[in-house]
Amino acid sequence: MLRCRRRIQSEAPVSDNSIESYVTTINEEYRMSDRIVFGATGLEVSPICFGTWQLSPRFWGEQSKVDVLAAMGAAFDAGINFFDTADAYGDGYAETVLGEFLAGKPRENLVICTKVFNHFNPDASRYPDLSPDHIRHRCDLQLQRLGIETIDLYLLHLFDPLTPLADVAETMDSLKKQGKIRSYGVSNNTVEQLRAQRYFGAYDAVQPCYSLVDTKIESDLLPYCQAENIGVMVYSPMHKGLLTGKYTGSETFGDFRRHLPDFQGERFQAIATAVQSLAPLAKKYDLSIYQLVLSATLMHPGIDVAVVGIKNRAQIDEAAGAMGKTISREDYFAVRKALAVDGASKIRDAGGVKK
């Protein structure tokens, strides 16, 4: 079953700040279908996307390539056809690994997204560069690493303040005309930046950070994307693993998370406790906490796809198990309320009252 982005038509006016204004017309029968039409890109994708950020050693440490390749195969077998990567992940390593997986696979059954932004120096330093020459050069390298002729979705990884927006859009349009990319968009842009980019080019997709404890984009970016039929694929929907239900709040981390406030002290323990409190609700639906949170995330009508980072087959089996699962409206808001920890995931009702 395919679905296009639905536009919300509420029977009664509600506050612009109300999350309920975004979920009024949720149709639980196809919110988590096997395939969706991804906004104006026209790409037919699974609502769960296999992310490869975990193959960036400077963030996550060394990961087993064998395990990740096995997980990619399991994802494909489970009906996940959408794979996300970037040249910044391991300075091209993630793209190379994904290219190994793609070799011999039916290309027409897979949708590949990658991103461009950094200029890489020989000493491993990097700096922002979305100049036309750099984009063209990186695109050719990325196609080679991936072993494909066309990138289905090409994203600008971050915003480059030095390159004129018209030049960037012209370059992306040129790559599209050459058949090197099928569609393009942005990642990590504010709604103001996205609106400005779209003045110059057909940016039909966006990849922002979002989780049920980091919902800032609900106030501006998601409504804008719904109005403009821009496909939204959120990354870190499990909040870098914190919403999976496997932490108690006493753990320590050897990767970049040890520097993040949400993984330290009382804040870490409070969120972990809140996540664990979802266990009875997850059991009600015969889901794990991970699957409950992922299902709830994808119920938001402004979110088309959740990009999940996968390190092994067990993780993809759990993520894929959320496809086709839905929860009731009442329980959706119960999840939101439970995760409203210390200002996170605050919900307003039609009267603007925080819950």
Which residues have a catalytic role annotated? 89
- For residue 272, the Cα-to-chain-centroid distance in whole angstroms is 22
Give CA–CA dist 27/7, Å, rounded.
Answer: 12
Where does 103-160 have alpha helices with state H? Answer: 132-146
Using CB atoms within 10 Å of the CB of residue 104, give its burial: 0 to 12 exposed, 13 to 18 middle, 19+ buried.
exposed
DSSP 150-187: -EEEEEE-S--SSS-HHHHHHHHHHHHHTTSEEEEEEE
| Per-residue tokens: 285 | 């639906």
Give CA–CA dist 38/91, Å, rounded.
Answer: 28
Q: At what angle do helices 329-338 and 289-298 cross, to 10 degrees?
A: 110
Q: At what angle do helices 313-320 and 289-298 cross, to 10 degrees?
A: 50
User: Using alpha carbons only, what angle is made at residue 33 by residues 27 and 35, rounded to the nearest 5 degrees?
Assistant: 125
Q: Which helix (H) or strand (E) holds 49?
A: strand 48-51
